Amino acid sequence: ELKVEQNPLFLSMQEGKNYTIYCNYSTTSDRLYWYRQDPGKSLESLFVLLSNGAVKQEGRLMASLDTKARLSTLHITAAVHDLSATYFCAVVPFQGAQKLVFGQGTRLTINP
Amino acid sequence: DAGVTQSPTHLIKTRGQQVTLRCSPKSGHDTVSWYQQALGQGPQFIFQYYEEEERQRGNFPDRFSGHQFPNYSSELNVNALLLGDSALYLCASSPLRSGTISFYGYTFGSGTRLTVV
C-alpha cells in the first residue's frame, strides 16, 4: 500500500529565509500534487508534477519531482508571512486510480 | 463560475445518529470524490462517484455510503455516528467525462465540519 511521508511536519521560519519541504512516497507513481490549506479552509491546488525531473514555479514556491528517488520537494524562497499555511503533497497510487493518497502535511509558520 | 459547494458548513450530531452531507461539483465536472480529514491529518479517500455509480472505495466501513444524482451532485451519508467520525469532510470534483483524476487534480470544496458528541 502506498505511503506518503512529508518532513518536516512542523516548520517555523523567519521572513526572508529559504527552506525546503520533502515528500517521499513508497511506490511508483506518475503524478504528484501539492496543495495548500489555510486553517479551517479547503485545499488549494498549487502544482501538478507529471514526469521525472519536472519543475514548476509560482512566485516564491518551486516544486520538483524525482520519480526514481520517489521524492518531491517544495522549495520556499525568501519566505513572506502570507505563505504561512499547511502544505500537502498527494500521489496517485497507480495508473487509473480514482484517489489521491496524501501526506500528513507540513504546517509552515513564517514569523516577521 | 461557482466552484465546488458543500452544505452544511458545520454540523453537530450525537453519537448513534445519522448524517447527510451534500456537494455540488464545479460547473463542467462530473466526477465527485469524498475525503475525510481528521484534525491535524491529511485527507483520506472515502469513495468516488462517476455516472451515478461508486467507482472506488477507500478503507471506510459500510456505515459510510453515498449517492450521485443525474445533475452530478452527490451526498455522503454516515450511519451510527461514532465520536471518531468527527472531522472535516471534503468533496472534490474532476472535469467532465474524465472518469478519473484529471491531470490537473481535483477542485476541492470548503468542506463540512462534523462534530459528533
Mutate to test the interface with A, among B6, B37, B68, B114 (most CBs of A within 10 A): B37
The answer to whether A50 and A30 have CB atoms below 8 angstroms apart is yes
Closest partner residue to A41 (CB to CB) among B50, B58, B110 is: B110
Q: Residue A74: which of A26, A15, A32 has the closest Cα? A: A32
- Which residue out of A42, A48, A104 would a mutagenesis test of the B interface target, given it has the greatest number of B Cβ atoms within 10 Å? A42
Residue of A nearest to B43 (CA): A102
Runs of H (alpha helix) within A1-112: none
> Do B109 and A42 make contact, defined as CB atoms within 8 angstroms?
yes
pLDDT for position B94: 86
Does the CB of B60 have a partner CB in chain A at under 8 Å? no
Using a CB-CB cut-off of 8 Å, the residues of chain A touching B100 are 96-98
Chain A contact for B11, CB < 8 A? no
- Residues from chain A that touch B43, judged by Cβ atoms under 8 A, are 43, 88, 100, 102
Q: Do B56 and A88 touch (CB under 8 A)?
A: no
CA A2, distance to chain mean position in Å, is 16
Distance CA B68, CA B75 (A): 7
Which candidate from A48, A98, A99 shows the least CB-CB separation from B104? A48
State how far the Cα of A14 lies from the Cα of A109, in Å rounded to an integer: 8
Q: Which residue has the cell 466552484?
A: B3
- The pLDDT of residue A51 is 79
Q: What is the mean pLDDT of residues B8-30?
A: 96
Tens of each residue's pLDDT in chain A, 112 residues: 889 999 999 999 999 999 999 999 998 887 899 999 998 888 999 999 987 888 999 999 999 999 899 999 999 999 999 999 999 999 988 777 778 999 999 999 999 8
Put simply, the chain A residues between 10 and 69 with a CB less than 8 A from any chain B CB are 31, 33, 35, 40-45, 48, 50
Per-residue pLDDT reduced to its tens digit, B29-69? 889 999 999 998 999 999 999 999 998 899 999 999 999 99
CB burial of residue A96 (10 Å; 0-12, 13-18, 19+): exposed
